[in-house]
Amino acid sequence: MLEIKNLVVQIEDKRILNGLNLTVNKGEVAAIMGPNGSGKSTLSYVIAGKEDYEVLDGEILLDGQNLLEMEADQRAAAGVFLAFQYPLEIPGVGSMTFLKAAMNAQRKARGEDELTTPEFIKQVNAAAAQLEIPKDMLKRALNVGFSGGEKKRMEILQMALLQPSFCILDETDSGLDIDALRIVSEGVNALRSPDRAFLVITHYQRLLNHIVPDTVHVMHGGRIVRSGGKELALELEANGYADYRESEAA
């Protein structure tokens, strides 16, 4: 599904990713863990197509298509979805207006007809109910005045409506209390399917109790330094990232 080969990325002359290799298969939930500054968020932005980064080498293939040659909107239409660590507030843009514009833009890119309003509302209501999103939240401007938990739920709502094939969750657990973490995780788990892959970026093992990964990768110094099964997350939780820092020093 997703193949990253020897990815080298810098921003303002500072190298962030240093020959990163990663493969995520269809239906797989891959977790990426790593200390602050290891390049986790950069990786998510580069996959989604943020412009600030300079890709010096390597490639990112999604089902064989080279994502690096596409604009962010084309990547979204190809199936990439990034749930932001800090979802942005957009005053003046209603949540429903935004959802409809996004869904129709992707349908258009795939050559499908626009959604009718009743069909759109039906889909939103169904997905919102599952994520325990109250209707009045959808009447407000996108993310404006939302709590941290509400913003994250809104991200998962978008994911549920857009039905992407490759989902990146960038520290989705940050700023969530226990109940919100449960709701968000259930929302993500409901979307797990044999045709969809996830890349779950997190600092803490906590999230992975709720969204149980198939594989765990440790990122450090801009590359994947170790890969394993879900038990690797527990080991990291117990020992911290000190081992990797020392290995770098040595």
Partner 1 sequence: MADVTLMKTPAETALVQAFENARTMLPGNAESRAQAFEQFNARGLPHRRVEEFKYTDLRALLREVAPFAGVPTAEEAKAALGGSKAFANVAALQVPFVNGHFVREAVDFANLPEGIEIVPLREALASGHEWLAKLSPVPWASDNPVYQLNTSFMADGVMIRVAGSVETPVHLRFVTAAGSAVATATRVLVVVENDASVTLLESHESGDGANHQPNDVVEMIAGDRTNVQHVRLNAEGDKALALSTLAAKIGAEANFNSINVVAGSATSRHQVYAILNGENTNLRVNGATMLKGTQHSDSTLVVEHNALHCESRELFKTVIDNEATGVFQGKIIVPHHAQKTDGRMMSAALLLEEGGSMNNKPELEIFADDVQCAHGATCGQLDEDLLFYLMARGLPKKEAESLLVQAFLGESIEFVENEDAREALVATVEGWLKARS
Taking the complex as a whole, the smallest distance from the CB of residue 182 to partner 1 amounts, in Å, to 25
What is the nearest approach in angstroms of partner 1 to the Cβ of residue 158? 6
Nearer to partner 1, 73 or 248 (CB): 73
Least distance from C-beta 69 to partner 1, angstroms? Answer: 15
| φ, ψ (nearest 5 deg) of residue 84 | -70, 145
Residues 6+ apart with CB under 8 A from 240: none
Q: Which helix (H) or strand (E) holds 187?
A: helix 178-191
What are the structure tokens assigned to 77, written together?
């239409």
Q: With respect to partner 1, which residue has the nearer C-beta, 142 or 181?
A: 142
- Beta-carbon contacts of 238 under 8 Å, excluding residues fewer than 6 positions away, are none
148-162 and 178-191 helices cross at what angle (nearest 10)?
10
- In the numeric block, the tokens 């590359």 are attached to 223
Q: Which is nearer to partner 1, 17 or 76 (CB)?
A: 76
End-to-end CA distance of the chain: 36
Minimum CB distance to partner 1 smaller for 21 or for 163: 163
**Interface with partner 1 by CB under 8 A: which residues?**
48-52, 71-73, 75-77, 80-82, 84, 87-88, 90-93, 97-98, 101-103, 105-106, 109, 141, 158, 162
Shortest separation between residue 133's beta carbon and partner 1, angstroms: 17
* Euclidean distance between CA atoms 29 and 224, whole angstroms: 16
Nearer to partner 1 (CB atom), residue 113 or residue 246: 113
CB of 141 to partner 1, least distance (A): 8
